[in-house]
Amino acid sequence: MDSIVVTGNGPLKGEIPIAGAKNACLALMPATLLSDEPLILTNAPRLSDISTMSLLLQSLGADTANLQNGKVLAMSSHDLTSTRADYDIVRKMRASNLVLGPLLAREGHAEVSLPGGCAIGARPMDLHQDGLEALGATIELKDGYLHAKAPGGLKGAKIKLRFASVGATENIVMAATLAKGTTVLDNAAREPEIVDLVRCLRAMGAQIEGEGTSRIEIQGVDRLHGATHEVVTDRIELGTYMLAPVIVGGEVECLGGKKELVQSFTDKLEEAGVSVEETGRGLKVSHRPGQRVRAVDVTTEVFPGFPTDLQAQMMALLTTAEGTSTLHETIFENRFMHAPELMRMGADIEVQGGTAKVTGVDRLKGAPVMATDLRASVSLILAGLAAEGETVVNRVYHLDRGYEHVVRKLSGVGAKIERVKGA
C-alpha cells in the first residue's frame, strides 16, 4: 500500500485551488436516474468515490463519461437496464444508497444493498426508509438488500425527520420530485450540498422551495429534463487546507472558498487567533510562524454547526495549541480513531466516550502512523507538517476517496511531502 511522507519544514505560502464538493457530487450523480435526458456536471472532483458512483450508475444501465480530464461528468439514463444496486459496489461507499429514491420514483421499484464506507460509526437507513414509506413505498429488508416497491407511483406527504440527516433529505427530495402532489419535509438537513442538489433538480424542471432551511416543499412533476450544473466548492477540503498555514505558519489563499460555506469553522479559527480574510478569489488564511494558537472548545453539529468532517483536522491543530481544548463529537460514535495515532506523535489527548480533551504541546514529533478513515488520513498529514522530523502516514488509500492531488496542492505552497508507492 502507498504511504505519504511528510517532513516539517516551516511556513507555507501561495495558493491552493479547492475542488468541487465530493459529497455534493455524490448526491448530484444519482439525480441522472430521474430523467431520460443527459445531466452534465462541471467542476467535478477527481476522486475514487466519484469513480465508484460512476460504476454503480453504469451497472444500472446509465452512460457516464469523464470529460476535460475528469472535471466534467456527462451522464445519461436513457435506457436503464437494472434497478438492483449490488453489494459488490455499494459496500465501498455510503453514498451509494442515494440511488434508492431516484430508482423508486422513476421505475417504481428498486433493490439496494445496505451501504458501506468509512468505519466511523453506525449510519442506519431507517430515516431513508421511513421517508420513502411515507411517500407510499413498501420496503422490506431481506438478505442485506432493501427491496422497495411503489407500483402505483409515489404520492406527496408531510414528513418530519427525527434527525436532520443529509442522506435521508437527499433521497426523499429526489424521490418527491416525481411524486404526485406536494411533499413537505420538516427538519430537513440544511447543508450547502442540499442547496446544491436542489438547484440542480430545479434546473432539471423540479418544483422545490426552501432549500437551506429546515422546511423543504416539493411539488411533484410528471417528468424531469436534462441540465448542466456546476458542483459547489468542497467546504471540507476548503477547511482542511485553511488549517495548513495555521499549523506551521504562513499565508495561503484557498481559491474558490467562501466564508458562508465554513462559517462555524472560521469562527473557531478566529477565536483561536487566526486571520481569515475573504478576497475576490477565495479565502486567505495567515498565521505568524512560531505563534501557538489559543485553545478552543469544539462541538460537532449538523449544519450550520461545526462539521464532523473537520473534527479530526481541528484536533491536529489543537495538539499544539496554548492550553487545553475539549472536542465533543455528537454525530458519529467512532470518530476519534485518529487520536491514538496523534498520540504516537507526542500529542496529549484523553478520550472518554464522545469527548476528547486535548492539551497542547510545544511540538509534535514525526512518527510512523496509520490512517483509519478518510478525514483521519489528512489530519495526520497536517500534524506531520507541524512535527519535527519525518512522519510516514500509512494506508492512505482512504485519502483518495476525498482529496484530489493532496501532495501536489501542499507541495505547491512549500510543504515537504511525497507519496511513496507500496510494494
pLDDT of 346-387, one tens digit each? 999 999 999 999 999 999 999 999 998 888 899 999 999 999
Residue 281 labelled as part of a binding site: no
Closest of 361, 328, 324 to residue 342, by C-alpha = 361
- The Cα–Cα gap between 348 and 390 comes to 19
Task: Name the DSSP class of 395.
Answer: -
- The Cα–Cα gap between 127 and 77 comes to 27
Q: What is the pLDDT of residue 423?
A: 63
Q: Active-site positions?
A: 118
Q: What is the pLDDT of residue 333?
A: 67
Q: What is the pLDDT of residue 91?
A: 86
What confidence tier does 118 reach under pLDDT thresholds 50, 70, 90? very low
Residue 127 labelled as part of a binding site: yes
pLDDT tens by residue, 172-191: 999 999 999 999 999 999 99
**C-alpha cell of residue 401:** 476517496
Quick check: 284 pLDDT over 50?
Answer: yes
Cβ-contact 164, 173 below 8 angstroms: no
Closest of 139, 149, 222, 212 to residue 181, by C-alpha = 222
> What is the pLDDT of the chain when averaged over all its residues?
94
Quick check: 114 pLDDT over 90?
Answer: no
Residue 331 labelled as part of a binding site: yes
Beta bridge partners of 290: none
**Span(s) in the chain for CATH 3.65.10.10:** 3-19+233-420, 22-230
- The Cα–Cα gap between 233 and 236 comes to 9
Full-model pTM: 0.93
CA angle 85, 86, 91 (to 5 degrees): 105
Residue 22 labelled as part of a binding site: yes
What confidence tier does 45 reach under pLDDT thresholds 50, 70, 90? very high
Residues 213-234 have a mean pLDDT of: 98
What is the chain's alpha carbon radius of gyration, rounded to the nearest angstrom?
Answer: 22
Residues 244-264 have a mean pLDDT of: 97
Q: What is the pLDDT of residue 392?
A: 97
- The Cα–Cα gap between 22 and 70 comes to 13
Residue 94 labelled as part of a binding site: yes
Q: How far does Cα 379 stand from its chain's mean position?
A: 15
- The Cα–Cα gap between 176 and 188 comes to 13
* Domain at 22-230, CATH from 3.30.360.10, 3.30.210.10, 3.65.10.10, 1.10.3720.10: 3.65.10.10
- The Cα–Cα gap between 180 and 148 comes to 18
Residue 30 labelled as part of a binding site: no
> Comparing 116-125, 138-147, 176-185, which segment has the lowest mean pLDDT?
116-125
**C-alpha cell of residue 231:** 458542483
Sheet holding 3-7, edge to edge: 368-370, 390-394, 3-7, 416-420
Cβ-contact 95, 27 below 8 angstroms: yes
Question: What are the two backbone dihedrals, phi and then psi, of residue 312, each rounded to the nearest 5 degrees?
Answer: -65, -40
Closest of 290, 359, 350 to residue 324, by C-alpha = 359
Of 159 and 93, the one with more pLDDT: 159
- The Cα–Cα gap between 45 and 236 comes to 13
Q: What is the pLDDT of residue 138?
A: 98
Quick check: 116 pLDDT over 60?
Answer: no
Strand intervals (E) in 167-296: 182-186, 207-209, 215-219, 227-230, 250-255, 275-278, 282-287
Closest of 274, 310, 270 to residue 289, by C-alpha = 274
Specify the CATH superfamily of domain 3-19+233-420: Enolpyruvate transferase domain (3.65.10.10)
- The Cα–Cα gap between 277 and 91 comes to 41
> Comparing 231-235, 259-263, 374-378, which segment has the lowest mean pLDDT?
374-378
Q: What is the pLDDT of residue 212?
A: 97
